[in-house]
Amino acid sequence: MVTSTWAISEAALTDAENAEAFLAGIPEFSETLHPTPGGRNWRWLFATGDGTGALVARDATGAAIAHYGLFRLPYRAGDREVVAAVASQLAVAPSYRKTPLALDLSSRLYAAARTNGIAFVTGLANRAGLLEFHKAFGFRDIGEVPVFAKPISLRSAARAALSSGALRAVSPLLRAADVAWRAMLGAAGSHGVRLDRVERFDDAMAATAVHIARRHRYHARRDSAGILNERFFGNETREYACYALTAGAGLAGFVVLRSMEMKGFRTLAIVDASFDFDDRRIARGVLSAVTAMALEADAELVAMLTNSAALGRRLRENYFMRAPESFRLVVLPRDPSLGLASSRLEDWFVTWMEHDYV
């Protein structure tokens, strides 16, 4: 019988491996979170100097029964540089889900954020019940952030949409359509845009984030090479591929990619991008180059998460469709002067930059 007694404390850096093992055993995370050497992924998310931004709950025997964390993300709110925290990896052992443990854990985590220099807490909610859970703690539901997907393999897309019988019936047609589709995708030109892989971001690449700042009041900071390098090169287990975009003779922006499994598809994820989203030629060149990489890597899908209306238009023009998957951007305001409580979705720019898994 489960008792209602537990002890909640800040997770130590030495808890990294055990925390990852616990999370991997939770049904909601079992397919996406996998232990990394030395708990490297967990440490990258939650380490803050000598401490961490994560809490763990233990039962009377000392076994972990719940986890919740905040990973810090430098943000720009209007003309101010602040530190936001992204709510991450809330996990409660199934046998404790009818107790107040999740409420206790969350209350303590959000209270700790107030004393740790966090300007606001944000998150991308898509698990059942999670949106209402956040709203109960005072989070504002800013709006829906869609996932855009471009099929590279029509057979793989059909496999997800059709019954096995229907799939067998249309299989000959699908094979022919797949060959034609992939040939069309492969024939797309560069439109004068070149992608060059880089091993580090520099100040010139970071300066292209001015395009995002011109459009949006609230966004993760990309105007610092140090911030970008920590986000995309700070954890070797993620294996991000980062590219500088050149259009003509000049630097036009950057794009970050990651090959991974997503919803059962071999996916090339566009994790983040910075360029002038109003420029159709640059967008077409970038997305054509990414598609060519997906074809070469035998990916089944290219996918990107974004709420940007301008970027969404460019994606749709280049054969991306809104996927069934979407997220809700939630924000817990702290400082009234930031104007978060009255903000609208179009004030924000969100990609998988804010996500703890992609």
Position 341 in a domain: no
Which residues contact residue 286 at a Cβ distance below 8 angstroms, ignoring those fewer than 6 apart?
Answer: 193, 195, 245, 253, 255, 273, 275
Average model confidence (pLDDT) for the chain? 92
What is the total count of domains within the chain? 2
C-beta of residue 10 within 8 angstroms of C-beta of residue 55: yes
Say yes or no: 107 and 172 in one domain.
no
Q: Is residue 142 a contact partner of residue 331, using CB atoms and an 8 Å limit?
A: yes
> Do 314 and 191 belong to one domain?
yes
**Do both 177 and 300 map to the same domain?**
yes
Residue-wise pLDDT for 98-149, tens only, equals 999 999 999 999 999 988 889 999 999 988 789 999 999 999 999 999 999 9
DSSP codes joined into one string, 273-329: EES-TT-HHHHHHHHHHHHHHHHHTT-SEEEEE---HHHHHHHHHTT-EEEEEEEEE
Do residues 108 and 161 share a domain? no
pLDDT digits (tens, 9 = 90+) for 249-291: 899 999 999 999 998 899 999 999 999 999 999 999 999 999 9
Q: Could you give the CA distance from residue 323 to residue 45 in angstroms, rounded to a whole number?
A: 27
Which pLDDT score is estimated for 165?
64
**Euclidean distance between CA atoms 228 and 184, whole angstroms:** 34
For 291-330, what is each residue's pLDDT tens digit? 999 999 999 999 999 999 999 999 999 999 999 999 999 9
Q: Does residue 101 sit in the same domain as residue 216?
A: no
Together in a domain, 100 and 199: no
The pLDDT score that the predictor gives to residue 292 is: 95
Are residue 112 and residue 207 in the same domain, yes or no?
no
Phi, psi of 248 (to 5 degrees): 70, -125
Residues 153 and 104 grouped into a single domain? no
351 bridge partner residues: none
pLDDT for 150-203, tens place per residue? 999 877 776 766 666 666 666 667 777 877 888 888 877 788 899 999 999 999
- β 120-125/80-92 pair status: parallel
Phi-psi sector, 62: left (phi>0), alpha (psi -120 to 50), beta: left
Q: Residue 153: its pLDDT value, please?
A: 86
Task: Indicate the pTM of the whole model.
Answer: 0.93
CA atoms within 13 A on the CB side of 253: 18
Nearest CA among 101, 100, 86 for reference residue 53: 86
- What DSSP string describes 37-106? GGGHHHHHHHEETTEESEEEEE-TTS-EEEEEEEEEEEEEETTEEEEEEEEEEEEE-GGGTTSTHHHHHH
Residue 83 belongs to a domain with what CATH number?
Answer: 3.40.630.30
Other beta carbons within 10 angstroms of residue 277's beta carbon come to 23
- pLDDT confidence of residue 127: 83
Q: What are residue 216's phi and psi, to 5 degrees?
A: -130, 140
Three-class secondary structure of residue 202 per DSSP: coil
Do 157 and 113 lie in one domain? The reply is no
Residues 276 and 318 in one domain: yes
2 part of a folded domain: no
Residues 63 and 174 in one domain: no
| Statement to judge: residues 246 and 176 lie in one domain | yes
pLDDT of 2 reads 58
Which residue range is the domain that position 46 belongs to? 7-118
Is 117 strand, coil or helix?
Answer: coil
Q: Is the pLDDT of residue 1 over 60?
A: no
Element (H, E) at 335: none
For 96-249, strand residue ranges (E) read 120-125, 140-151, 193-198, 218-220, 241-247
Could you report the per-residue pLDDT of 63-112, keeping only the tens digit for each?
Answer: 999 999 999 999 999 999 999 999 999 999 999 999 999 999 999 999 99
For the chain, the distance separating the N- and C-terminal CA atoms, rounded to the nearest angstrom, is 37
User: Which SS3 state, helix, strand or coil, does residue 230 take?
Assistant: helix
Task: Note whether residue 213 is domain-resident.
Answer: yes
